[in-house]
Structures are given as structure tokens and as C-alpha cells.
Structure 1
Amino acid sequence: MTLPPGTSRRQVLAAAAAAAAAPLVAAGPAQAHRPTRPQSWSLTLLGTSDTHGNVYNWDYYKDAEFDDSKQNDVGLAKIATLINEIRAERRNRGILVLDAGDTIQGTPLTTYYAKQEPITETHQRHPMARAMNVIDYDAVTLGNHEFNYGLPLLDLWIRQLGFPALAANAVNARTGRPAFTPYVIKKVDLGPGAPALRVGILGLTNPGVAIWDRGNVEGRLRFEDMVATAAKYVPIMRARGADLVVLSAHGGDSGTSSYGPELPVENPTALIAQRVPGIDAILFGHAHLEIPEKFVTNEQTGAQVLTSEPSKWGQRLTRMDFTLSRQRGRWVVTDKHATMLNSNTVVEDPKVLAAVRAQHNTTVGYVNQVVATSVTELSAAASRYRDTPILDYINKVQTDTVAAALAGGEYAQLPVLSIAAPFSRDAVFPAGEVKIKDVAGLYIYDNTLEAVVLTGAQVRAYLEYSAKYFVTLAPDAPVDPETISDPAVPDYNYDTLSGVDYEIDISRPVGERITTLNHPGTDTPVGDDERFVVAVNNYRRSGGGNFPGIVQTQVYNEQQEIRQLLIDWAQDRGAIDPADFFEPNWRLVRAGVPVFE
């Protein structure tokens, strides 16, 4: 660039700036301008869900390391090792760690610090808070089981966390305002030279809480539709600067519900991805499925929403990887995919183990206390298809408890029936010493006992609904106990009743299988208008499983945990003898012929 003599310094600088801003003029092929490719950065999101109180790789019911037929391991201590390896790989840049809920319920460890030494009384730090704080999560979504032990314990656990607990669709029933933190927007360091990336994280809990934990939340919290809540908050997060929007949702992706149409959909993750624009990815849980990577097309924008569900109990860790670039001053996701990591490939993290060791050891000591002596071994292995004494142990305890509570009152003259549900098919009471872990292993949920009044017609309808658990078999078809049940119906949705005699004819179509329903020990049929008191757990009575007729006003509800009642009954008597409670009253038949003798 040549300027005339006498040009001032200001003119020189102006000319130089103009030259720098001017487009290049190609003088030939060798000088052709090739625009540089935008620089790319990456973000990794790690996710767990449905850890259900598992920290150690330990089975408290067997008092041994956890193991199953697929050689899975469990626990946050293993998950921590996987997370630490990925943090080291990425040098702690561009990484987020989320959990999609169901955290503080599910093992004797968490039950102990909710029931035996509740943190609301001792003010100890909850074992799941200890473990998750060591791992240093960025956020956790509240699952439905977070509400099992009441709002005071939940609120204290949240205060013990070093990161936010999210639930945008849980609102104060009186004010309509969010009861918990709806979302957070996190600034993430992607590395040297990268502009700041702001990631919006929205948490959605399950509307079924309103049914399953009605006693803890009714009149206090309302649970709104997850799809509508996402549609409300995603634009807000974008308007407040979120470059990337991720949902952490405690609801499966099947689009179905276990409780009928009276509440918003229980498993709407795919619907959220389809109907709500502006979402980049969804980490989800609740269904306990292993879904490494699934893309869902948004109906409005055509964008592909990345979704993933990391199984349960700390068996798997979702890894989502995003490639991003800056285009016209905005972040753009140019690629995304997800993989699933297996926790059985690593050892447990010593820092997580140390943080929870004292509470783990206390729990192990507790579940190994002897409560009674059994005169014989009792197993639940065949209880799905054959009447067994171990389920009648549940029924005996429930029946006696309700009958004693109602004695002398309005319902004292009504027969008491009992529903045994759910149960673990792996449960065994050994001959000889029976420990707390054996009893807890039979009834693995923290359900409480309730009772309602049903008619004979309602009892029959309930049994018909339960009987859909079985496949239909012709009278001459071969029978295999392992394939006799419909895989679409989970074990926990098969119930048995005591107090009436009945037959389930599995050669008949669903809805027509209860061919005999008599008063016990007689040939007298149960009349449609007869009334019965029915002992049942709070989950089922509140609508869990969508069983017909059972959602009735309780005539008994003293908030007594069924598992503890089973323990107390054995402890009070010192002996478990089937002669005291076993009354065979149901069987599977085909065209009237017993399937199993």
C-alpha cells in the first residue's frame, strides 16, 4: 500500500484498517480464499437414575456382595470410579453429572436412616447425601420414591446436598408456586479459548406421587403434567441465556400409566421430546430400563432429541457427548450421541466407601439380628403359580393386625381378607434362625398397611385383573413355570388373596378366569353384594397398578409399615410355624384340572 508524501499518522492508520477490512481479491488459483472451519468444542454429560439407596456393591438381604445372573454390580461407589475416569480423561473440562431420581429409598441402608435412626431426629447426614456429595453431582431430580418418608425428611436431605434438587412440576397446593427448584443454568468451562457455555437443566418428577404417597403430599403439593411443565420452562430457560437445554426426567418413555387416566401421564419422556421444541437431550428414569441411545424427532422443528435411560441401582452410567461450534455468535450442536457404561468393569471408589462406611456397617449389623426360629424352610420361589406358606405369613400378619384394630367397631362383623403383594420370588426363611434380612427380603418395599371395604363383585374383579398375569394355555399344552406368566405384566402386579377360596383357569380368556370364588372351606359362592374388609398395602390402595375397585376410603390406616409388622410378629412369638398360618385357598387350573399338584 503506497500513500502520497505528507500523509498524516491518522491517515496511515485509517488506510491500514480499511485495507484489513477489505475483501481479498483473487489474483489466481493459488491465491483463492478458503474460509477457515469453525472451531469445535465438546461437552460430556454423565447420568444415573433409580439408584435406590445403593452405595456399596452389597446385597443386604443375602449379606454378601451383590450378584445376579448377568454379573451386574450396583452402587454409587462403582459409579464414582467411572465418573472419575471420565473427569480425568477430560481434565475436568466440559463435564456435567446428573441424576434422574429415586435416590433415598430401596435398600435397608436408606430404610434404616428413615425409620430406625431417622435423620430428622439424629440430624446425621443421609448416606445418599454423603455419597453424592463426594461424587459432586451438578443436580438431582426428585423421583416419586423421594416422597416415601414424608416431606420433613425429604427437605432435610435436600438441605444436606451440595447441589440443587429439581422438580419443576411439583407445586405448592395452596399458592401454585414451585415447591422445589425448577431448573438451573450452569456455566460450563469447555477449555482454553472457548466462550462460556450455559447449560439449562430442567427437572421433572412423576405425577404418580399424588397417588402413591397421597398421605404425605395431599393438600400440600400438586403434581402437574410433565409435558406441559416442560413446554412452560424450556422457553424461559432459553430466554434467560441457556445455550443448551437438557431435561432430567423421572418418567419412562412408553407413554403409558399404571394408574389410569385421572392423573397426567406417568411415562411421558418420548412425548416431551416430540411435542416441546428447544430440548437437546433428556436423561430419564423410573422404568429401570437400559436404553443407551434413542433419538426422538420433535414434531414442530424436526430436531433430533437425544434420550437415554441408565438402568437402575448404579448398574449403568449414561454418557452423552455433544460436539459444539460457534456460528454467528451462537452455540450450535453439530453432533451428539450416547453410550452406556457398565459399573461391573471398575472397582469401588475408596472415598465414597469411606464416607458411608459407618452407616453401612450399622445397617449390616441391624439386618443380621435374629428375630425368630423357623421350624422349616419357607420359600417364595413358586409363589407366583402355587399357594405357599410364606405368602400366608404376610396374610396372617395383615389379617390379625386389621381385625384387632377394628374389633368392637362398625366393621367388626365383616370377614377380613388380605392381599399379599408385592413379594420377592427370591425370598427364603431358612429352617432355624430367621434374621431381619430374611423377613425384609420377602417384603422389599416400605409400604404401609391399610384396609378398605369391598363387595364380593369387587373382590372378583380384583382377582380377574390380577389373573391377567398368566398366559393363556390350552388344556393339553405343556406347562413351564418359567414361561407361564405374561412378560408384559411385572411380578409386582400379581396379587394373591386369603380369606376366600378361588380357582384361576388359565385356559380361559383374560377377564373370565375366576371360575370358583367361595367362602373358605365351603362350596358356598361369594355373593356379589356381600361385604368384606380387605387388608392391602398403601401403594395398591392408592391406585398403584391400576387394580379395579381398590381405591376406596380407608377403614384402617395407622401408617404401620408392613415389613416392620412382619418383623414384630416373628419377634413377639419367637417361632415361625406354617401350622399357625398356612391355609391353602387358591390354585391354577385348566378346564378345572389343577396345573400343579
Structure 2
Amino acid sequence: MKAGPGSKEQQQATRVVNDATLVDLRILATSDIHGWLEAWDYHSARPLPAAGLARTATLIEKAREGAENSLLFDNGDFLQGSPLAEWSAGNPEAPHPIIAAMNHLHYDAATLGNHEFNFGLEMLEGAVAQAGFPIVSANISRLGGTPLVPRTTVLHRQVADRAGRVHPLRVGVIGFLPVQVMIWDHSLLTGRVEVETPLAAARRHVATLRQRCDLLVALCHGGIGCASAAEGSEDFATAIAGVAGVDVVIAGHSHLVFPDHRFRGLEGVDAEGGSLQGKPAVMPGSRGSHLGLVDLQLEVRDWSVASSSSRLVAAGPAPPAPSLRRVIGPAHDAVRREMDRPLGHSDVPLNSFFALVAPSRATALVAEASARHVRNLLGDDLPVLGTGQPFKVGGRGGAGYFTDVPAGPLSLRHANDLYVYPNTLAVLRLTGHEIRLWLERAAGAFRLIHPGKADQPLLDPDFPAYNFDVVHGVEFKIDLSRPPMFDNTSAQVSDGRITQILYNDAPLDPQAEFLVVTSDYRAGGVGGYAPRLPFMTSKTLLRDVVAQHLRDMPPTRAEKPFWRFMPMAGTSVTFPTSPRALSHLDEVPHLSLTPLAHDRDGFLTMRLDL
């Protein structure tokens, strides 16, 4: 008997025909590796439990084994961010270990992130020249419009359909970075390159690229925001997804993960399904913490996306890949030897566990070292004040991401732990009034606190902790019952919350002049801090200044509480810190602290009674 139109036999035959027209393509993605190749924390001299490209490499190998067809992309910020990355920049004559690792893993393409420029264009160009894969960026050019790297590329690949037949597939790749790179690295880029907003560049180049390819992947070194985010926003990935012709989006820069519940409610974002404006998307964390996977089912006849799924795989359980460890081993060993170089001794621990609620000896040491360095250079014509900010206070880095230097012998890795970025020294000439404005910007780190209420969250999640940049050498109090002076666009919205600001035990004279030591990054205007051109700049790394200070003047005392919150009776706030903070409560005896509970990310929630 012949099978009827709805019979089981005919349904199976139809499925076979349909399967023969489908190609399964797996897109693998990393982002914000920041030079963390080996699963090793050079600052603490212990293994990284849940990060490192060596762990991600094991995930890549397994993901490739489970897919007939696959492509591997990196979304930028791979050349800077670890001691190994800085060692590589200082040894330009040697093969670049980060590029060597990416070549070994057979990346198909990558884009530039903003941190690729931290060591200058020459270093970047030398690294890019060693890459065995295309590196693209559509929105940065040399002056005059010549592309710095190719704006786009087309990968020609042979892919097998579900019936085993092979087809040629053209995959277009385009990349974008934040326009703010011109602020963050102004001293290295001004007069040499120009940057277009990602959305404007996408509108100019995607249509042309689409004519040359069957599938288009956008590597967006930007975070995930709402679909109508401002043109200059750092969170531009959702907007790029809405450009006609884009099929897949890889997001990054913010060190977050996607799909993830934190993005619920954003316009154009499916936080659970893993799509942006209907396009499959992933954002794979940082330092190799996750591998992003986008599985596509493509119709061979027109290469349209029949269906897709997006997910993340965490690197934590994965063992480091032996083959990659052999490639990076010589550089890793050299960096470990360098980090072990002795500097001196500290009689007190240096950590950032309470750096957002009280003066920290760790950040004070940076301020003290930089001010001393400038006094030695310039003399005492004007008072010199240093600045310090907490770089490692958890946040997106996780519950283990805190500065933690124990009392005892000091080595170069401890200087790296205290100052993690390759920023250079800059000096500003500021009045007392401008110093107050500086402190008002820093005080934006805290939410408005209502008197008489218990356990109010203290920290503003939209304020980056590294912008809590405090001027040392003055004393002041912060009135949390008053709103911050500035909003997150740097517009003044209130009279502020800094009170009782003193210098040398007297009220700070608004007209008095001071030299304030900061970094080239801050002097460039990042965070809205620098109101005028630098009085002096230097190519000296602040980390080198800190290292020399540790040699000459080893820490021997706790930090004086030169700033504090105004008392608020019957009021308490909460903040997250490292569980290791419990062993250091004696370092902040003037605070009324109560440990509460651990959250699902491993942070210890602490109560502070005001």
C-alpha cells in the first residue's frame, strides 16, 4: 500500500530532504582575554580557578569536536591587562605569546578592543603583523581615512550539510570599538587616528559587506544596552544588531556574560533566549572565564538562518589544555621570574577589602608614592597631593578580585597588585575649589541613603569603582543623605555631599593652588575629573613609581581615616566584599561592621552602621 500524505513514512522522507538542505554552523567566541593565557594569577602567585585562555582552549577543543562546522572569533582586548601582556609589550623583538596562542588555537578572525592601543600604535602593528588570522575594525582609521586594519573580511569556508554534501560558504566579519578610546588613550592616539561611532560605521559598511558574503558576523567590542542607546554609548551591541544585514552579534567590553538574567527588561534584548533585536548573540565574560557558543541552522538555498541558539560554557571546571601550555610556557615562566623579583618588606597588610567605605592603606600608598616622586622632581613651590583609587574591589572581576598583599616580603608582583594598569604619571594644577569638585565626583560612587532605614545598598552599580579617585592630603566627610553633585553624564544636579573639607587642619581655601598627581588616563578626562590641561606629563609608569617607593619606604603603619561618612543615627548600609575581609576587620576599628551572608556570586555582604 502506498503511504498517505500524512503517513509516518512520508514525514520521515520530508525530514531527510529538509535535513539535506540544512548546514549546522557553530560560532565560538572569546572576549576580553586581557593577556590572561595561563590559568595563573601573577599577583597572588596561585592558580586562577575559573579563568585563563588555557582553560578556555579545552572548551574550544570540546566544542569543535561536537560540531561538523565551526568558526572561532575573538572580540577584542586581548593584548593588554596582565603582567604577561606587559612583559610582551616590553619585549617586542620576541614572538608575541598572546598572538602565538591565538594562532595555535586557529582563530578565524578577531577585532580590536580599546585596550589594544594602551602600548601605542607601533606595538599594536607589530603584534597584528604576527597574526595568522584577519584582525578587523570598521570604525578606526588613520588621519585622512586610511584603515588602521582592514574594516571587514570575508572568510571562505567549505561546510558540510546534514547529508554530508559540501558547500562553499562566505562569512563576512566586521568589528567595532568604543569611540571613547580617543579619551582613554588620547596621548597615544591624538593626531594619529580618528574614530567613527560604531553605529555610523555599521551603516556605512555592512551593506557593502553583505553583498560579498552569505552570513555576516558583527564583532562588537561594546556592551549590551537598549536598542535606542545613544550614538556614542559604550553599550552599542544591541544597536548594531538592528542594522539590516547583520546575522550574529558577539558583544563584550563590559566583562559581563550573555545570555543572562541581568539584561531582562532592556529594549530589544531577549535575556533568556540570547538574542539582540532578534539576532543570536553572546557575550563571554573576561579573562577566558567563558566560551560563547552560537549554534546556527542555515538554509543552503539562500543561507538564511532557519534557527539558532546561544549559550555560554564556564571555564571553571575545565583543565588547562596541555598543547597551549607548551606554546605559552617560556613566556609564562619568564613573567613568573620577573614577578618574583624582590622589592622590600611591609610591616602591614595592603588590601582593598574596605577601600570603598574607608581609607585604604593600599590606595594611600599609591598616592604617597606618586606625590613623593613629583616632589623630588619639582621641589616644594606648591603643595603636592597624590590620588589613589581602588582598582581591584570585586565587581565584574568576581569575589576573588581584590588587592591582597600580606605583611612580609614584597616582590614586583605586589607592586602589580597595587597598581594593575600601565598608566603613566601626570600632574594637574588645581585650586581648592577644583579639588572639592574632584571629591564630589568620587562621592558619586554611593547611592542616596535615607536616614533611619536599615540595610540600604551603599554602592551605585553604574559607577565604576576605579573612578572612586580620592585626593590624599586633605580631610573631608561625605554626607550620604544628600544626593551626588554629578549624574552619570557629569552634569551637575545638586550642591553635593562633601562637607568639612580641611587642609592642614584648616578649612580648604577655594583659591589656593595645588599640584595634584594622577595618571594620564585620568588627566585625559575619563570620569569627568580633569578640568584643565596637565601641568606636567611623564612617560614614567605609575607602577614603577610604586615599586621604587616600596624599595625606599616600606609600609609600616595603618592609614589614618582622613575621610569618612557623616553619622546617621539608626541607619545602616550594606556592601559586598571578599570573604577574606573577615580576617582584616581589625584594620578598620573606627567602622561598625557586621558580616551578613554570602551571595550567589561568592561575595560577603557586610553591614555598616552609620
> TM-score higher than 0.5 here?
yes
Match of 2:350 in 1: 378
CA distance in 1, matches of 2:531, 2:83: 29
Cα distance change on mapping 1:61 and 1:29 into 2, 3 Å: closer
Letter of the aligned partner of 1:160 in structure 2?
A: Q
Match of 1:313 in 2: 287
- What is the deviation of 1:219? 0.8
Structure 2 unaligned regions, length at least 5: 270-275, 394-401, 486-495, 573-589, 592-610
- What is the deviation of 1:583? 5.2
Letter of the aligned partner of 1:51 in structure 2?
A: I
- What is the deviation of 1:544? 2.1
Q: Secondary structure at the match of 2:534?
A: coil
Q: 1:190 aligns with which of 145, 159, 180?
A: 159
Q: 1:491 aligns with which of 465, 471, 487?
A: 465
Q: Is the 8 A contact 1:402 1:535 kept in 2?
A: yes
Match of 2:505 in 1: 521
For each residue in 1:166-198, what CA deviation from the matched residue of structure 2 results, as whole angstroms up to 9, or x when unmatched? 11111011x212111111111222214232111
Instruction: For 1:279-318, list aligned pairs within 5 A.
Output: 279-292=246-259, 304-318=278-292
Q: Is the 8 A contact 1:134 1:352 kept in 2?
A: yes
Match of 1:570 in 2: 550
Instruction: For 1:4-83, list aligned pairs within 5 A.
Output: 37=18, 39-67=21-49, 73-83=50-60
- What is the deviation of 1:223? 1.1
Q: Is the 8 A contact 1:257 1:267 kept in 2?
A: no
CA distance in 2, matches of 1:237, 1:537: 40
For each residue in 1:493-521, what CA deviation from the matched residue of structure 2 results, as whole angstroms up to 9, or x when unmatched? 21221122211111222222101122232
Q: Is the 8 A contact 2:226 2:267 kept in 1?
A: no
Count the aligned residue pairs.
534
- What is the deviation of 1:428? 3.3
Cα distance change on mapping 1:450 and 1:255 into 2, 3 Å: farther
Letter of the aligned partner of 2:60 in structure 1?
A: I
Cα distance change on mapping 1:215 and 1:235 into 2, 3 Å: same
Structure 1 unaligned regions, length at least 5: 1-27, 68-72
Q: Is the 8 A contact 2:171 2:214 kept in 1?
A: yes
Structure 2 length as normaliser, TM-score?
Answer: 0.82
- What is the deviation of 1:364? 1.1
Match of 2:493 in 1: none
Q: Is the 8 A contact 1:256 1:266 kept in 2?
A: no
- What is the deviation of 1:356? 0.7
Match of 1:326 in 2: 300
Q: Secondary structure at the match of 1:590?
A: coil
Cα distance change on mapping 1:507 and 1:95 into 2, 3 Å: same
CA distance in 2, matches of 1:413, 1:256: 53
- What is the deviation of 1:303? 7.1
Q: Is the 8 A contact 1:315 1:342 kept in 2?
A: yes
Q: Is the 8 A contact 1:520 1:585 kept in 2?
A: no
Q: Is the 8 A contact 1:55 1:75 kept in 2?
A: yes
Cα distance change on mapping 1:29 and 1:554 into 2, 3 Å: closer
CA distance in 1, matches of 2:388, 2:571: 22
Q: Secondary structure at the match of 1:560?
A: strand
Instruction: For 1:434-473, list aligned pairs within 5 A.
Output: 434-473=410-449
Matched, 1:271 2:204: no
Q: 1:165 aligns with which of 128, 135, 143?
A: 135
- What is the deviation of 1:475? 4.3
Cα distance change on mapping 1:256 and 1:193 into 2, 3 Å: closer
Cα distance change on mapping 1:509 and 1:296 into 2, 3 Å: closer
Q: 2:327 aligns with which of 330, 352, 355?
A: 355
Q: 1:421 aligns with which of 362, 385, 389?
A: 389
Instruction: For 1:535-546, list aligned pairs within 5 A.
Output: 535-545=517-527
Match of 1:6 in 2: none
Letter of the aligned partner of 2:137 in structure 1?
A: A
Q: Is the 8 A contact 2:452 2:571 kept in 1?
A: no
For each residue in 1:542-579, what CA deviation from the matched residue of structure 2 results, as whole angstroms up to 9, or x when unmatched? 1222x24x152111111211111100122244x33238
Letter of the aligned partner of 2:500 in structure 1?
A: T
Letter of the aligned partner of 1:532 in structure 2?
A: F
For each residue in 1:141-190, what CA deviation from the matched residue of structure 2 results, as whole angstroms up to 9, or x when unmatched? 111111001111111111111111111111011x2121111111112222
Cα distance change on mapping 1:40 and 1:479 into 2, 3 Å: closer
Letter of the aligned partner of 2:214 in structure 1?
A: D
CA distance in 1, matches of 2:432, 2:551: 35
Matched, 1:141 2:111: yes
CA distance in 1, matches of 2:547, 2:228: 33
Q: Is the 8 A contact 2:478 2:499 kept in 1?
A: yes
Q: 1:179 aligns with which of 127, 148, 155?
A: 148
Match of 1:16 in 2: none
Letter of the aligned partner of 1:535 in structure 2?
A: V
Q: Secondary structure at the match of 1:461?
A: helix
Q: Secondary structure at the match of 1:111?
A: helix
CA distance in 1, matches of 2:23, 2:77: 33
Q: Is the 8 A contact 2:429 2:515 kept in 1?
A: yes
Letter of the aligned partner of 1:98 in structure 2?
A: F
- What is the deviation of 1:266? 2.1
Q: Is the 8 A contact 2:54 2:321 kept in 1?
A: yes
- What is the deviation of 1:256? 11
Match of 2:492 in 1: none
Q: Is the 8 A contact 1:372 1:576 kept in 2?
A: no
Q: 2:533 aligns with which of 536, 553, 560?
A: 553
Q: Secondary structure at the match of 1:196?
A: strand
Letter of the aligned partner of 1:467 in structure 2?
A: A
Q: Is the 8 A contact 1:469 1:485 kept in 2?
A: yes
CA distance in 2, matches of 1:189, 1:488: 45
Q: Secondary structure at the match of 2:518?
A: strand
Q: Is the 8 A contact 1:429 1:439 kept in 2?
A: no
Structure 1 length as normaliser, TM-score?
Answer: 0.83
Match of 1:88 in 2: 65
Instruction: For 1:392-403, list aligned pairs within 5 A.
Output: 392-403=364-375
Cα distance change on mapping 1:403 and 1:593 into 2, 3 Å: farther
CA distance in 1, matches of 2:441, 2:568: 19
Letter of the aligned partner of 2:237 in structure 1?
A: T
- What is the deviation of 1:414? 2.6
- What is the deviation of 1:391? 2.2
Moved more, 425-434 or 152-161: 425-434
Cα distance change on mapping 1:431 and 1:345 into 2, 3 Å: closer
Match of 2:377 in 1: 405
CA distance in 2, matches of 1:113, 1:193: 44
Cα distance change on mapping 1:332 and 1:474 into 2, 3 Å: closer
Q: CA RMSD in A?
A: 2.9
For each residue in 1:244-301, what CA deviation from the matched residue of structure 2 results, as whole angstroms up to 9, or x when unmatched? 111011111226999xx9x933221111222x21110110110001113789869xxx
% identical aligned pairs = 29
Q: Is the 8 A contact 1:417 1:499 kept in 2?
A: yes
Match of 1:25 in 2: none
Cα distance change on mapping 1:439 and 1:592 into 2, 3 Å: farther
CA distance in 2, matches of 1:307, 1:284: 7
- What is the deviation of 1:45? 0.5
Q: 2:222 aligns with which of 251, 265, 269?
A: 251
